[in-house]
Amino acid sequence: MEIIKDKINQIPITYVNVDKFKSVSGILFFKMPIKKEMFVTRTLIRNILIHSCNKYPSNRLLNINCLENFDAYYSSGFRREGNYAINYFIFRCLDEKYSEKNVINNVIDTFYEIIFNPNVVDGKFNEEEYSLATQRLRSYLESEKENATSYAENMLCKQMGYDTAISFKPEIEILNKVTNESLYKEYLNMINNSEVKFMVAGNKVSDISFDKLFLNLKTKKYDKKLKIQTEIPDSFNKKIEEYNGLQSILTVGLKLKDLSDYESTYVLPVYNNILGGGASARLFDTVREKNSLAYSCFSRYEKDDNMIEIISGIEAENYEKTLDLIIKVVNSMKRVTDDEVKRSITEITSSLKESQDDLYNYILPIYASKLYNEKDIKTKIKEIQKVTKEDVEKLFDKIYVTDSFFFKGGKTSE
């Protein structure tokens, strides 16, 4: 693998020359400080843009273009990383060695059209596309409680985040204020005022010209800190909400304080894996296997939010027992064993190595490393392998169980 860095119009370009795949894949990132309404507007934008464009004004025509270029693939996404909103657009196509000449140029042209030449008339997106996107998002928001786990996680974050970006989530009230005109203005805001990066991976991709993507594109620089810092509350905060679903979801939040960069990057993943990273983790073994209190019980480390979420699916009558047991398991992390640390390191390094079997994973870790000022995967593996039992145990005084949200099933409909 060879990594080459360049700039076009001051926009950072990263070429990852890797010859183990038959495809070429690129991702264009747009990053801005997040605002609450972006969970609605940026989701709508990504869905509208990827569905059609001015050159291919229907999804059918866009799909035909994909098939004509050996089943080329385009997708888009929106995510929050700490204090930032990130929209990203992806293309993937067959290397010309296995297709025919000009396929990549055709794909880059379509990729450009999707992002920069949307289906717009008189300062508004195509009305049919706009209505379809808003209806789908409205339907999702109106039925959000049907996905009990996702809803419970969102409510825990809202509870823990106070007025920070951790608490932001898409809301019907925000959607009701969006108009076609205001959405198009937000699209222009994304294009003209983002911090932009482009990364591409595949065989000899540094020999391919991507200049068209950056003809009229500029990039900005934002200095707002990525990670979110929140206060540790004086007391444990419990909330319960009832609904008429069958399964109950218990979420527990842990806040992290005063972590060093080394701890947050290398030690916390090991800690989290021991706590709730799989079937051999303490949470799964104690809560599910030994006490049969949960269908599932696992933890997820949110680095940019300085928090850990614990999620478990339980019966409503097991709420108090499960919550008490989860807290006891977290408190037991004051001491870990050498075997647990070795197993955790082995599982994490194996996962990192396996990730390199996917072309996307040659791009995304590089972007993440730039966000967090981290090293490449090989260096990350070496550093994780140095983590000791003592390193993990030192985290005990920096981790606080602060919140729980219980989405209690079994409520009788009125």
Tens-digit pLDDT profile for residues 243-282: 998 889 999 999 999 999 999 999 999 999 999 998 889 9
Tally of CB atoms within 10 A around 145: 15
Q: Which residue has the tokens 């999707």?
A: 114
The residue ranges of DSSP E strands in 223-277, in sequence order, are 237-242, 248-256
Strand order in the sheet with 248-256: 237-242, 399-408, 248-256, 307-314, 294-302
Grouped pLDDT means (10 residues each) for the chain, 414 residues: 91 92 95 97 97 96 96 95 95 94 96 97 96 97 94 96 94 97 98 96 94 93 92 95 93 96 95 93 96 94 96 96 98 98 96 83 76 78 96 98 96 54
Helices 338-355 and 268-276, packing angle to 10 deg: 110
pLDDT at 305: 96
Q: Which domains does the chain have, with CATH numbers?
A: 2-214 (3.30.830.10), 237-408 (3.30.830.10)
Query: What global pTM score does this model have?
Result: 0.94
Question: Taking Cα atoms as reference points, which of 406, 5, 405 lies closest to residue 205?
Answer: 5
CA–CA separation, 101 vs 135, rounded Å? 41
The model's pLDDT over 377-394, given as tens digits with 9 standing for 90+, comes to 888 899 999 999 999 999
CA–CA separation, 226 vs 205, rounded Å? 30
CA–CA separation, 107 vs 214, rounded Å? 15
